Chains A and B, each alone.
Chain A
């Protein structure tokens, strides 16, 4: 097995947080380390830990310095983290967890789908086919509740962000930005090219967990008709 040249680095980033960096790029292997480490923190939060925040290739651990009982609280946290990292087994294999998300492509829900087809010299049907055939790894959840940062989209349907962002993007909108695709869980402004909409709630306050997707999941989209969309919308 090829070992990554990057050694895991720990650094202090504020009075109350430390950053654990597993690499400097977006890669499935590095992201897997992030998830393994977070799973460990879920099971074994250290004394004084407030929370952790995962990203593509790093995790920040937020702590209460007053609970470290030291003039140098970061040094205490650092040695705890180093100890954890030395014990962790990063070679375990994830069970693939696929989450299927229905999408009504085009029409009023996907006002930019023709533009995406045009700039890639393909038809709208081909955009739908390529987008719904992909298997997308969820690298992280961030930006807004339940918003997945997912990778692995085909460059055949890549499209740059809109030059002027929309003021309002309805919840459930499925969009493309560069090589990324994603779903807007709540109404927000945004600059992504919109190709469709899902009736599935990406974030549900009463759910457990509240977010439909979590990092490490595989997201898959499948096309539904406008009628099916309305039916599913009503079931909510």
Chain B
């Protein structure tokens, strides 16, 4: 089975959990920006949670899907329709006929995830199917999707086959069948003020007291130059007690670094492997999914928590995901 790209959208790429283990060669991790939405989209259709998906940014593609395709959409709401009819996010959809999936205007969030049962049949490059745009490898020919691309779909799991069986039992006469059950993954987010929880990073105590106060009390604006590498923020400039002599060291998803102009950058999926700017705080893993759904000019406020608390939230999220996996297993019995 395959998917034909009728129009590619603004930036549509194949992503998974990313490329781990090659940063020592300067190869960045890449991967889905919103790994939580990616995992859910896979889990609900019977894929492994790290199966490759399409990451769709702001302006979605138009895709021709074949009869017998099982897919799901999670993440931001880019108004998906099948043959002109609205379809929900967070529910598996099964096609009785060949159909056109079209994304429309961006209502909430800015990144949507499209998972298809069986995943995308593209080669693993360094153990990942993620697209590394700058180095032009991974994903579909190392690039974003283009018009007329044909994406092969992999072999469906037995779990996917069971979900299809359940949906066929509904005996819907229309072009497609939507499950009655759903997975909630959409947080209510206020674009005027999203609260982002952070813990102290290595140079936190080098920040001037005044800047610390401003960092936690003022709003920051998401800059238009934000991308998969990092979100640039504009607002109060962060200053240090004294000039720091830094040597390049690790950075990771959620590192908040301060370049010489004083405007914070939150590093994300396509971050470089090491960085030489001071790191003042680190976004809690569970709040990354909030950041990556923000659009330019959305506003955020930082809230300080401890690393211990971030760790507790991390465990809670993983417990929730485990519960979802179990509930899918029950549905497919």
Contact = CB atoms under 8 A, between A and B. Distances in A.
Contacts of B135: 144-145, 186, 203
Interface in B54-108: none
B310 interface: yes
Interface in A186-235: 186, 188, 203, 205, 209-211, 214-215
Contacts of B250: 13, 17, 19, 53, 55, 58, 60
B125 A56 contact: no
Contacts of B274: 53, 55, 140, 142-143
A73 B270 CA distance: 26
B327 interface: no
A16 interface: yes
A38 B25 contact: no
A66 B318 CA distance: 8
B137 to A, nearest CB: 6
Given A53-B250, A55-B274, A205-B137, A13 B20 contact: no
A57 B247 CA distance: 8
B88 to A, nearest CB: 31
A166 B123 CA distance: 33
Contacts of B301: none
A110 interface: no
Nearest to A215: B24
Contacts of A36: none
Interface in B12-29: 20-28
B26 A146 contact: yes
A209 B252 contact: no
Interface string B123-164: 001100000001111000000000000000000000000000
Interface residues of B, number: 35
B46 interface: no
Contacts of B24: 38, 51-54, 141, 215
B26 A56 contact: no
Contact of B26 (A13, A17, A185): A185
B242 to A, nearest CB: 15
Contact of B23 (A73, A142, A214): A142
A19 B248 CA distance: 13
A38 B250 CA distance: 14
Interface in A35-55: 38, 50-55
Interface string A161-198: 00000000000000000000000011010000000000
Interface of A: 12-17, 19, 24-26, 38, 50-58, 60, 62, 65-66, 73-74, 140-147, 149, 185-186, 188, 203, 205, 209-211, 214-215
Q: Nearest 5 A-B pairs (CB), nearest first?
A: A60-B250, A211-B25, A142-B274, A55-B249, A51-B21
18 contacts: A13-B201, A14-B252, A16-B285, A19-B202, A38-B24, A51-B20, A51-B21, A53-B24, A55-B248, A142-B26, A145-B135, A185-B26, A186-B134, A188-B134, A203-B25, A210-B22, A210-B126, A214-B25
Interface of B: 20-28, 125-126, 134-137, 201-202, 247-250, 252, 254, 272-274, 282, 284-285, 307, 310-311, 314-315, 318
